[in-house]
Amino acid sequence: MRKLFKRVRATLFMGVAWALVWAPVGVLSGLIIDPDGSMDEMWILIGAYPGFVGGVLFSLVLLSARGRHRLDKLSIARVGAWGAAAGLAVGILPFMIGTATSTVPLWLLAGGFAGVTTALSATSAAGSVWLAQRAIAKEQLAAPEEPRALR
């Protein structure tokens, strides 16, 4: 039971971390799409919500796909591919759930959103695992050496 709670906590932490990183991207896209600032409040959420869902989805993919491999032994490129798959799913999901009313063609809107979430998710996944690998390496360097057995 303790292991389950630890995994749930780690999954939620990954979602919150990605939401915090993606929120400024939503604000930047709001500056481009809505330069007069008529809808300021929603742009943070436009970045944060997909970031949270992408982080949680990536964490679940990571837990199931890595198997018994240690985190510091995973390939950054492979993890980036897993992140891209999670980002593509997050990017397509809103357009599968409902219809959007926009002057922009739906295929262009869906393609643009899915492309951005795929790129952000692949980058976030690779960055997350890279940071985790650096933390593991630093922890291993800081750990004292075990004394050798006396002969």
SS3 of 92-123? HHHHHHCCCCCCCCHHHHHHHHHHHHHHHHHH
DSSP class of residue 148? P
Per-residue confidence (pLDDT) for residue 28, from 0 to 100: 85
Per-residue confidence (pLDDT) for residue 45, from 0 to 100: 86
Per-residue confidence (pLDDT) for residue 49, from 0 to 100: 92
Q: Where are the alpha helices (DSSP H) in 34-75?
A: 40-65
Per-residue confidence (pLDDT) for residue 112, from 0 to 100: 83
Torsion sign, CA atoms 123, 127, 128, 129: positive
Per-residue confidence (pLDDT) for residue 141, from 0 to 100: 81
Per-residue confidence (pLDDT) for residue 150, from 0 to 100: 52
- Whole-angstrom distance, CA of residue 74 vs CA of residue 80: 10
Per-residue confidence (pLDDT) for residue 80, from 0 to 100: 92
* pLDDT averaged per 10 residues in sequence order, the chain, 151 residues: 89 93 87 73 85 93 79 86 92 76 72 89 92 86 64 49
Per-residue confidence (pLDDT) for residue 144, from 0 to 100: 66
